[in-house]
Structure 1
Amino acid sequence: MILYSGHEEEDAHHTEGVAFMLSHEAQNALISWEAAGPRIIYASFKTKKENIKLNIIQCYAPTNDKDEETKEDFYNKLQTLCDKLKEKDMTILMGDLNAKIGSDNSGYEEVMGRQGLGKMNENGEMLADFCAFNNMIIGGSVFPHRRIHKATWVSPDHRTENQIDHICIGRKFRRSMQDVRVQRGADAASDHHLVLARMKMKLKKREVKKSTRTQYNVDFLKDRLTTETFRLTVRNKYEALQDLLDEGNMDIDTQWQQIKEMWTSTCSEVLGKKKYQQKDWISADTLNKVQVRKEKKGAINNSRTRAAKATAQEEYTEANRAVKNSVKQTRQTSLKT
């Protein structure tokens, strides 16, 4: 399963939001999903065990400098959603929680380990209290990793690194979570790094029935000559069929099958089946620019000094701008054709 969290900073011109992207296997196992406001989205999946579901809550919490009312409103909505979920099911809470939990787990031994970064802030306390109330564990604080594989956010000047994105799981299913770490090499064009969790539980495949419906090129009927040909063909076939219907030897089901065959055969002969042509939304030139951007991302991660990182960041920003412009131009060209 592949899950993604994205948001934009709150200001007068931007709104926040959350989303997730699912692999094909996860889409087949999806039962339902719903949005609990602009900051929270929830999805439920089937698992190999018939009586257990996998619930994933993706969210974007208010930043630490927001007022208490905004923070409490967020956690109240989050708690309302959790109250609807069954305790026997596996529940995963993940996203940008804007919470620093630190490495000191005094008083929260059942909620977190000692592998966190920095010191716990107010948002960290609220997250820890929420997890304690709902019997959850903060995965990023349990597994030992190097510092670069713990920091999930880097400030624009590369002077500050924080662990504010988290993946939490119900304590009952703690052993199903095998690892949580940061994926620094992902080219996500964001000041956040991806956070990956390796899980043991398997999703259940759902049989998807393929549609047998045939679509025809009805756009051809806009042509007057094709329309006349279609009309004449239908008339000739109907006249031949009318003689059989007048004999009265066919029941209603047989009559329907004969009429249906008349229409489908005419559509196939005159119009033909509709063919779908996948448009290329990304050109070879754009892919080359994406590769350049990826190399610039690697240069940022491999920089050893702040000056080198600042230079690499400027080059990455320029490369990212080139990718966006190229994608926009390719999309506009594709829509015109």
Structure 2
Amino acid sequence: MFQVGIIGAGRIGKLHAEHIQRTSMARVRSVSDVDIQNLDSWATSLHIPVVTDNYQDLLQDPEIGAVFICSPTSTHSTIIQEAAQAGKHIFCEKPVSFSVETTELALQAVREANVMLQVGFNRRFDHNFKKVRDTVQGGVIGQPQVLRITSRDPEPPSAEYVAKSGGLFMDMMIHDFDMARYVMQSEVVEVYAQGANLIDPKISEMNDIDTAVVLLTFANGAIGIIENSRKAVYGYDQRIEAFGSKGSIATENDRPSTAVISTSDGVMMDKPLYFFLERYAQAYVQEIEDFFRSIQGEFPIVCNGNDGLQAERLARAAKESLVAGRPIKLNHMNVLEAM
């Protein structure tokens, strides 16, 4: 039974804590947050014995074997380095940082300490997307030729969130960059991005975009297309299609039910599940269970530090491409590998 510390008790930190308390593999021993005024009743309801406003208390606790870093992105790299030095295994929400160079420092600390690091790209654990990946890698559709990923939020985030998010490519599309590498098992060698402000003028005021299409070229010669929008009026739109020399595989949105009503007025079905907490509910559970199984040695980390690094590199290249108005080539020589 692993003893776990949660650093950062916002929405995602609380979600992970609740899921951990339901597993048979781990328990949350301590939660830290800069604001603990309203945490006591929540922690008590989950039988979490310690609440503190200093995350160092978790790192210095010899009973804690792993920490979940759910604090703001700007703190991730520092906490990863300190947690590694303290000998803790680490689960860190994405992205590791807003800077590739800063992320590399964190990954170096993980390597030197010989601890495990999993990055929170939860979509790898989604039942639909994993089926696509397994089908492609199993050779069922032959040589992969085209990958298309659609990701659209039901509502745009607040201006305050956008200002701290790192931008659409680093905050939103970074999931899709990771999914592209996961499905194709090939590095991206060129990125070409187009973007616009078509939804919320406040996002433009934050020097960001709300609509984007990115063209990827993989090392294996395949082509990828990623489309993002900050607003789809019908709900959370999450789809993937992979096309190859022997066929294709595609996934549709998860819905509250699969019922289809057909009448003289038309054909109707439920809208997609509204947001990520519903759509990826099981994926969040699966990713933490697989993290603990990896610590036990059952299999390697499914989404390691290098995966986080590569997604960040693609996000940075997309932003560079948007600004420059041209494709950006990526060199994968001498890339830091992480445990």
Shared fold, TM over 0.5? no
- Which structure shows the bigger proportion of residues in strand conformation? 2
More helix by percentage: 1
User: Highest CA radius of gyration, 1 or 2?
Assistant: 1
TM-score normalized by structure 1?
0.24
Q: Which has the higher contact order (CA 8 A, sep 6+)?
A: 2
TM-score by length of 2: 0.24
